[in-house]
Structure 1
Amino acid sequence: MRAALLMNPALVPFVFGDVERSRLEKILEIDTTQAVTSIADVPARSDVELLITGWGVTSIAREGLDGFPSLRAIVHWGGGVGFLDAEATARGIRVSSARAANAIPVAEFTVAMITLAAKDAFWASRRYCAEQRFIDREAEFPRTGLYRSTIGIVGASTIGSLVMERLAEADVDILLFDPYATVETADRVGAELVADLCELAARSDVLSIHAPETPATIRMISAEVLAALPDGATVVNTARGALIDQPALVGHLQRGRLRAILDVTDPDVLEPGHPLYTLPNVFLTPHLAGSMGSELRRLGEAALAEIERFVAGRPFAHPMQP
């Protein structure tokens, strides 16, 4: 079965190690040293039955698919498949994604941030280092602790659901806002479904955002939602920066009313001198939550497992609809 790699070539050794490339070459006719980002550069396109795609792949439009008459499947080791024209499945092309595998490090990062936020870890550390004195924890941080805190989750996405599942093991109250979720969905992850986003914000000690970026969700964490958060609440965003009314958030942060843990911003590299870089109640990271470093190997292994299922004639474990 002829296959091709459609991804950033520099990422190949991070995603597919020597063992994984050897396994691919045993079951496929593929040159793992040759990866391209555009379908126009794939050699012998008419014979390719399987495309292995990843970060760096350019858009695969309808007319691009015309050049692959033998294409039967696309296995994407990344998360979303928005680069792929929706007609792919109508042509009988099966599509798989490593979205579930990519959700793991984001959920791990998010739960860690929620836990540290509830413990006041970032802010206590900064005070301790700046003042270099004994910190009377109970007197100076009377609301500290994850126990019995209320965590508001926005979006029962793959990541949001995994975050809720992990938080369910802690002694916390979980609230969920997602207009597409049902009470049964919330019950499965130990959450209470809340229909109004402002109500959820008003009841939350930590607000964690896990919705996708669509025209309907841009600025969904609006000035009104932010104003509904109680004093001292923390906003955690590992989704997309555009989901928050960022100027309104900055205003609350500058007044010292809220705290924020932001792995993403709008734009996703802020201009030099932006206040989010230096505000003392902000913990800012450069989009670290998603798979990186050694975690990329998990994505490669997930994709390889799907490829082996496909070659064996079995259905994908993680099918996707572009």
Structure 2
Amino acid sequence: MHHGTDNRPATLLAMAPGIAERLLGDAQRGHLARIARTDPRLVAHDLHAPEFASALAEAEVLLTCWGATPLTPEILERAPRLRAVVHAAGSVKHHITPACWERGLLVSSAAGANALPVAEYTLAAILFAGKQVLPAAHHYRALRGTDHDWRTELASSGNYRRTVGLVGASRIGRRVIELLRPFDVTTLLYDPYVTDTEAAGLSVQKAELADLCARASVVSVHAPQLPETDGMIGAAQLAAMPDGSTLINTSRGSLVDEAALLAELRTGRLHAVLDVTEPEVPPATSEFYTLPNVLLTPHMAGSFGNELHRMADHALSELERYAAGLPFTEPVRPDALEHSA
């Protein structure tokens, strides 16, 4: 088909059913229509399906989100004009294959935009933990108006000169470091890839994992899911944590030895804020649901609700840069994938 002088890139949306409707509001649909040639009603839920074959053959850019079809050599063969993949979510590991790099595709991710709500959730969890908000709320409810000496009960609470330990200077970990700057806290960082100079630049103290666990009253995990991070927060690390301290996990359930964590939680010695578990929905019998010292949330720290529009806006600005011949602001490089989420 002939488009005359319309040089907007032909763009195909590729993601799981039900996502495009939440990802793209009216403002985003309008923006997409201005910068790309696309049928916004056509969302390829499965790039193998024949009804998407002609759009795939024409596409110069795929705009992807959760549940995009893996871009195997077979799919790429049917997409001879494909030059770029703009992902409106975090990790691209699920659909970007080695064949994409062999083909020389340009790839962009919205991991930076998706990191923001995770870091916000973490900041809230850190501040609530220091202030002992959840145990106080549970106890206040149980007392039902009975007179009580809260000053004594909360004598060890507060966020003044608190020590916070962050495991992993990932994109999210670095955003948490930024968000903690206005507070009177000392931030410790364990990350084997961060140099002393880098740590100084981030205004954090580097620490070994055992030392960090022993010194921090809140430990928050932001490392990627890799074979070497499996169970990195184990019995020894948990035992090192001071009485009354809190473990926050917004990364992946596999990074924490959950049997060891449950053993500590049953005694009431530690608290936990868990947005992720292994398996992802704990079985109905799991004590994570019933222990009073656990705040369990349904993997919601990342982008939900109106936060999807932030990822969409980021992806659209990347698409606009591509159309203008500019490099992506958040390019994904094959070598970086080994150490990232």
TM-score normalized by structure 2?
0.91
1:156/1:178 contact within 8 Å kept: yes
2:114/2:311 contact within 8 Å kept: yes
Which residue of 52, 61, 67 maps to 1:50?
Answer: 61
1:49/1:70 contact within 8 Å kept: yes
Residue 251 of structure 1 aligns with which residue? Answer: 263
Residue 35 of structure 2 aligns with which residue? Answer: 27
1:48 CA displacement: 1.2
Residue 6 of structure 2 aligns with which residue? Answer: none
Residue 192 of structure 2 aligns with which residue? Answer: 179
Instruction: Write out aligned runs for 1:1-322 (5 A).
Output: 1-41=9-49, 42-44=52-54, 45-83=56-94, 84-132=96-144, 133-194=146-207, 196-322=208-334
Aligned CA RMSD, in angstroms, stands at 1.3
2:189/2:206 contact within 8 Å kept: yes
1:223 CA displacement: 1.0
Larger mean Cα displacement after TM superposition, 134-143 or 167-176: 134-143
Q: Percent of aligned positions with the same letter in both sequences? A: 43
Structure 2: gaps spanning 5 or more residues: 1-8, 335-341
1:204 CA displacement: 0.9
**Quick one: distance in 2 between partners of 1:232 and 1:27?**
53
Question: Which residue identity lines up with residue 184 of structure 2 in the other structure?
Answer: D
**Quick one: distance in 1 between partners of 2:73 and 2:53?**
19
- Secondary structure at the residue paired with 2:173? helix
**Quick one: distance in 2 between partners of 1:65 and 1:213?**
28
1:15/1:297 contact within 8 Å kept: yes
1:208/1:236 contact within 8 Å kept: yes
- Secondary structure at the residue paired with 2:19? helix
- Secondary structure at the residue paired with 1:293? coil
1:219/1:245 contact within 8 Å kept: yes
1:57 CA displacement: 1.2
Moved over 6 A (4+): none
**Quick one: distance in 1 between partners of 2:87 and 2:148?**
50
1:9 CA displacement: 3.2
TM-score normalized by structure 1?
0.96
**Quick one: distance in 2 between partners of 1:101 and 1:31?**
25
- Secondary structure at the residue paired with 1:40? coil
**Quick one: distance in 1 between partners of 2:57 and 2:44?**
16
1:222 CA displacement: 1.0
**Offset from partner CA, 1:161-217 (integer Å, 9 cap, x none):** 0001111221101110011111222222221111x2111101110000001111111
Larger mean Cα displacement after TM superposition, 121-130 or 2-11: 2-11
**Quick one: distance in 1 between partners of 2:21 and 2:27?**
11
**Quick one: distance in 1 between partners of 2:152 and 2:252?**
36
Question: Which residue identity lines up with residue 165 of structure 1 in the other structure?
Answer: E
2:71/2:100 contact within 8 Å kept: no
**Quick one: distance in 1 between partners of 2:307 and 2:253?**
23
1:3/1:30 contact within 8 Å kept: yes
The count of corresponding residues between Structure 1 and Structure 2 is: 321
2:53/2:78 contact within 8 Å kept: no
1:238/1:289 contact within 8 Å kept: yes
1:9/1:34 contact within 8 Å kept: no
Larger mean Cα displacement after TM superposition, 99-108 or 8-17: 8-17
Question: Which residue identity lines up with residue 327 of structure 2 in the other structure?
Answer: P
**Quick one: distance in 2 between partners of 1:39 and 1:235?**
41
**Quick one: distance in 2 between partners of 1:98 and 1:68?**
23
1:86/1:321 contact within 8 Å kept: no
2:213/2:219 contact within 8 Å kept: yes
